[in-house]
Amino acid sequence: MATQRILDFLATRRPEGPCLVVDLEVVRDNYQAFRKALPNSRIFYAVKANPAPEILRLLASLGSCFDTASVAEIEMALDAGATADRISYGNTIKKERDIARAYDLGVRLFAVDCVEEVEKIARAAPGSQVFCRVLTDGAGAEWPLSRKFGCVPEMAVDVLRRAHHLGLDAYGVSFHVGSQQTDLSAWDRALADARSVFVKLAAEGINLRMVNMGGGFPTRYLTDVPTAQAYGEAIFDALSKHFGNHMPETIIEPGRGMVGNAGVIKSEVVLISRKSENDEARWVYLDIGKFGGLAETMDEAIRYPLVTPRDGDEVGPCIIAGPTCDSADVLYEKNMYPLPVSLTIGDEVLIEGTGAYTTTYASVAFNGFEPLKAYVI
């Protein structure tokens, strides 16, 4: 939703070209909602969702920890005021020299999903805490992350055993149920798997202590999503069901759910046309597309709410595309988007729910278009 502060900013500053405006008040509210919904979990903000320094500074000041994927993201979190003990290196794919740099910067918490990565960490970050990521099926998520990361729970047992024997602290298990996950039972299935790893290793005298429940908390796009409170209750119930009186420490890593609804992209209609005289659908070309930051429209996965100055008028089906000379730069075509028939070239279109996964996905200069500008207010 475009907040009043965002609308006022756009009305008074009139920034030229497409741009993202992020309202920090919304980020603050989201952080507090997570705190309240999951009071016993430490929050590690997934920096990749939006690494704007203002966002990182706000979250650091509120006490958030940070999930990072690279040395550069670790440095950003440190610059924002987080201490190294509040940073996890959560990418399961790391160069050994980057692990060593992270270790030099003080980071002692690392994600792994195979024995090969454990061996790197044992060499480059001796004695550190490691957690092993297990696969989930990603069912119910609009942006699944399943196959690339994690291993089956049986293998996680081997990975953590190896970590233990190499002098690392076999700390726990992690999973990510898939981004924009609206099925509350997804955490229940993943927690059952996590529990099985705990049980098998406990039988060998290796006592895991932590479950990292990842991200996946949704942003409202065109349809309602469960509240943070509903997620908190479902997760708490699943934790008690599987762990009973032996509750582990828990971590959550919200990215989208922390910043998605805090941002709005202002764009402009560059062209409206048809492909033939009796074409029913109009092609609406905006000044932002897949290469300007809207990469999550890939396969039409994320469908952003669009606000036009003509809302309320009669609507007709539109194919929405970006401004570049690549035919892949089409946002919505299979599932056409209804927009007012009165929409006109030059109209401003607000793309809502764009606070996450936009600025960093913009290309550097494809076709000479600048990367997406961002204002954090």
Ligand X SMILES: *Cc1c(COP(=O)(O)O)cnc(C)c1O
Contact residues for ligand X, defined by CB under 6 A: 46, 48-49, 67, 90, 176, 179, 214-217, 253-257
- Asked if 262 and 355 count as a contact pair (C-beta separation under 8 A), the reply is yes
State yes or no: is 19 an active-site residue: no
Helix pair angle (24-37, 53-62), 10° resolution: 40
Which 8-state DSSP code applies to residue 321? E
Give min distance, CB of 325 to ligand X, in A.
Answer: 30
Of the pair 259, 269, the CB lying nearest ligand X is at 259
Give min distance, CB of 187 to ligand X, in A.
Answer: 13
Of the pair 22, 320, the CB lying nearest ligand X is at 22
- Asked if 87 and 74 count as a contact pair (C-beta separation under 8 A), the reply is yes
Q: What is the distance between the alpha carbons of residues 288 and 57, in angstroms, rounded to a whole number?
A: 28
Q: Which of 65, 114, 132, 325 is catalytic?
A: 325
Q: What is the distance between the alpha carbons of residues 253 and 234, in angstroms, rounded to a whole number?
A: 16
Tokens of 136: 């989930």
Give min distance, CB of 261 to ligand X, in A.
Answer: 12
Q: How many helices (H) and strands (E) does the chain have?
A: 10, 18
Give min distance, CB of 181 to ligand X, in A.
Answer: 7
Buried b (16+ CB within 10 A) or exposed e, 146-175: beebbbebebbbebbbbbbebebbbbbbbb
DSSP string, 176-237: ---EEE--TTHHHHHHHHHHHHHHHHHTTT----EEE--------SSS----HHHHHHHHHH
The beta strands (E) that lie in 23-124 are given as 41-46, 65-68, 87-89, 109-112
Give min distance, CB of 215 to ligand X, in A.
Answer: 2
Of the pair 18, 260, the CB lying nearest ligand X is at 260
Q: What is the distance between the alpha carbons of residues 65 and 79, in angstroms, rounded to a whole number?
A: 13
Q: Which residue is nearest to ligand X (CB)?
A: 215
Of the pair 72, 328, the CB lying nearest ligand X is at 72
State how far the alpha carbon of 294 is from the alpha carbons of 3, 178, 331, 356, 362, in Å: 21, 19, 8, 10, 7
Q: What is the distance between the alpha carbons of residues 74 and 72, in angstroms, rounded to a whole number?
A: 5
Give min distance, CB of 171 to ligand X, in A.
Answer: 15
Tokens of 75: 């440095």
- Asked if 68 and 95 count as a contact pair (C-beta separation under 8 A), the reply is no
Tell me the three state secondary structure of residue 138.
coil
Give min distance, CB of 274 to ligand X, in A.
Answer: 37
Tokens of 126: 């001796």
Q: Which residues are catalytic?
A: 325
